[in-house]
Amino acid sequence: MIRKKVTGVLAATLLMGTILAACGKEETASTKDGESKAEEAKYTFRLADNQPPDYPTVVGDKKFAELVEERSDGRIKIEVFPSAQLGDEKSVLEQVQLGAIEFTRINSSPLAEFNNQFAALSLPYVFESDEHLWNFLNGDMGTKLLDGLEQSKMKGLAYYDSGSRSFYSTKPLNSVKDLKGQKIRVQQSKINIDFMAALGASATPMPYGEVFSALQTGIIDGAENNLPSLDSSNHYQEAKNFILDHHQRIPEVLLISKAAWDKLSEKDQKIIKQAALDSVKTQREEWAKWEERSEKKLKEAGVKFVEVDDMTPWKEAVQPMVDKYSKDYTEVMDAIDKARP
């Protein structure tokens, strides 16, 4: 009798162990299944750009979206909205911070509002060449600037090329002296306003979309930008004088909302980050083509190009203001200096 009871207890114990083991396996399988589903999450994101569809930054945006979709096996789709369809630069940036728009491409100049060290990149004549700029951007400080945006609910993914900025005007431009008294549209920033004052010009901040009519009506005499922008904006139809002083080399930045970034799996974060970096090659190649095409087109349209042989008068005019601002960006300025070819 005792033996039967022991046997029964043992059988019951073994049965219970089998049931518990089975439950454990089921839970593990369920957990793995959940993780698998999380990794296979599908997303459709939006990327805002204020330039036209064939502009080099938009070409870069599209390459980025293509790479992400390809490497995620179609799980992550990024729809590119060019021509400011989702709003102007300022409103889009606000929506990215809120997570209402997931991606944008923006000039790095306005980002100084969120990470003031970006302002150092806007100081005139601090980069001597494109090579100098990209040595800096591809270094540790370039990465540090992007990472510093996270506290403002954004994450920098990569830099895009924006060439160099020079002056164009409805009035003659043959030397730095010709800028004196001219009303020049600039991007809104204290550095740009002080820069114009140092050259004897009158800074006139205004939205980019208003520049063409302002040139037509004489509200401004000129503006400053890169070759492709002078071309695509049609500003050259009014401003026929272009002096190549290359005063600023301010890169573009591809951004993702921190809210969108944080909901991605680590695997998807890596896909997006690497796709952004890999899209830079396409964007820079397109930029070089655009600069060449734009120069040819503008010359044929009667735009007068003036090369600056001696930059000394330009640099001397702005050196006091550069020295003043550099004190606030010593670490960045040191990195810029070390990046010289």
Contact (CB, 8 A) for 154 and 258? yes
CA–CA distance, 4 with 341 (Å, rounded to integer):
90
Name the residue among 105, 115, 127 with its Cα closest to residue 50: 105
Q: What would the pLDDT profile of 126-184 be if each residue is shown by its tens digit?
A: 999 999 999 999 999 999 999 999 999 999 999 999 999 999 999 999 999 999 999 99
What pTM does this model have?
0.84
Nearest 10 degrees: Cα torsion 62, 67, 73, 75: -50
Domain ranges of the chain: 40-161+250-292, 165-249+301-338
Q: What would the pLDDT profile of 91-109 be if each residue is shown by its tens digit?
A: 999 999 999 999 999 999 8
Name the residue among 117, 102, 109 with its Cα closest to residue 148: 117
CA–CA distance, 304 with 145 (Å, rounded to integer):
37
Among 29-33, 229-233, 334-338, which is the least confidently predicted range? 29-33
Fold match between domain 40-161+250-292 and domain 165-249+301-338: yes
Look at residue 161 in the predicted model and tell me its pLDDT. 97
Average pLDDT over residues 309-325: 97
Q: pLDDT at residue 66 above 60? A: yes
Q: What percent of the chain has pLDDT over 90?
A: 84
CA–CA distance, 100 with 312 (Å, rounded to integer):
47
CA–CA distance, 214 with 222 (Å, rounded to integer):
9
Per the CATH hierarchy, to which homologous superfamily does domain 40-161+250-292 belong?
Answer: Bacterial extracellular solute-binding protein, family 7 (3.40.190.170)
Look at residue 15 in the predicted model and tell me its pLDDT. 43
**DSSP state, residue 327:** T
The first and second tokens of residue 214, run together, are: 């302002």
Contact (CB, 8 A) for 256 and 312? no
CA–CA distance, 215 with 119 (Å, rounded to integer):
27
Fold classified for 165-249+301-338: D-Maltodextrin-Binding Protein; domain 2 (3.40.190)
Q: pLDDT at residue 10 above 60? A: no
Contacts within 8 Å (CB) and 24+ apart, 238-241? 238/170, 238/212, 239/168, 239/169, 239/170, 239/215, 239/303, 240/170, 240/302, 240/303, 240/304, 241/168, 241/169, 241/170, 241/171, 241/172, 241/173, 241/303, 241/304, 241/306
Q: Considering all CA atoms of the chain, what is the largest pairwise distance in Å, rounded to the nearest integer?
A: 116
* Amino acid of residue 71: R
Q: What would the pLDDT profile of 14-45 be if each residue is shown by its tens digit?
A: 344 444 344 443 333 334 444 455 558 999 99
**What is the 3-class SS of 273-309, one letter each residue?**
HHHHHHHHHHHHHHHHHHHHHHHHHHHHCCCEEEECC
Nearest 10 degrees: Cα torsion 252, 213, 101, 255: 10
CA–CA distance, 243 with 263 (Å, rounded to integer):
47
